[in-house]
Amino acid sequence: MKNKFPLLLAFLTIIIACNSNPKSTESSDNKKDEMPDNSRTSLDWNGVYRGILPCADCEGIETEIKINADLSYRMSSKYLGKNEEAFKENGTFTWDEAGSKITLENADSTAVTNRYLVGENMLFMLDADGNKIEGELKEKYQFKKVLFDNTISEKYWKLLELNEKKIILGKSQNTAPHLILKDENSLVYGNGGCNEIHGSYELAEGNKIKFSKIATTKMFCNYMKTEQALLNVLEMTDNYSVKNDTVTLKNATMVSLAKFQLVYAKE
């Protein structure tokens, strides 16, 4: 009997081990099934979306919606053929439990809807019941994501040329003229060689770029001529080009206004 007991114990150990492995695998598989796979987790959803909504008494409502990774948004609307002034609003948005729809929390109370379905490079406006708009005009309620060249943002732009003249720093000049375009809220910061610069920028398809709300501090230095020329260039800039590590700002007639070296990228 004593000789049989070790054999019986070994036999029971083998049975327990065999029975436990399938349960472990099944548990692991269940955990995989529980992992969320939705628009919020699997799509590169943050960015700028554009579309033209139907309008009863105008040619259409040109609309741009920018949704950011920090759950903030910015919307701009123009009533084409009626009032070209842009109506803007800012706020935050939330995701639904399924991770497929967003709600603009601070949307204008007069808006038809404040909910959108997030798809692959698309936003679909939803009706009052939270459903996709169907019918012949359904494509009018879709916003396509604008795919920009992100090589120019979050980098230090060192000014090399203004109006095709090379920039030479003064002997006592401590700060080189430069710009930095921030992804968050599309803000631009920099220095004209004397005063700090801050404002906003907008990118559009075709390497279009527009600077706005540019302001500076009010110090006086010996390098004001270069700084003022840079500010004038930012007002006239219509588009840009990138070659290797150089950004060139141009006006609408493609004349070179300024060149910058991309010195580094933010980590």
Tens digits of residue pLDDT in 218-236: 898 877 889 999 999 999 9
And the tokens for 168?
């030479």
Q: Which of 76, 78, 79, 116 is nearest to 96 (CA)?
A: 116
User: What is the rounded distance in angstroms from the CA atom of residue 53 to the CA atom of residue 122?
Assistant: 14
* Class of the domain covering 150-265: mainly beta
First-to-last C-alpha distance (Å) of the chain: 72
Q: How much is the average pLDDT of 141-146? A: 90
User: What is the rounded distance in angstroms from the CA atom of residue 122 to the CA atom of residue 45?
Assistant: 8
And the tokens for 116?
């959108």
55 pLDDT higher than 50: yes
Residue 78: the pLDDT is 85
Region 41-146: CATH code: 2.40.128.640
**Average per-residue pLDDT for the chain:** 83
Local confidence band at 19 (pLDDT 50, 70, 90 cut-offs): low
Residue 263: the pLDDT is 80
Q: How much is the average pLDDT of 167-194? A: 88
150-265 has the same fold as 41-146: yes
Q: Where are the domains of the chain?
A: 41-146, 150-265
Around 54, how many Cα atoms within 13 Å sit in the side-chain half-sphere? 10
Q: What CA dihedral angle connects 34, 114, 146 and 150, to 10 degrees?
A: -70
Residue 108: the pLDDT is 58
Most confidently predicted of 12-16, 18-22, 53-57, 109-113: 53-57
Residue 206: the pLDDT is 85
**Is 0.85 surpassed by the pTM of this model?**
no
Tens digits of residue pLDDT in 201-220: 998 888 999 999 999 998 98
Q: How much is the average pLDDT of 148-169? A: 85
Local confidence band at 10 (pLDDT 50, 70, 90 cut-offs): low
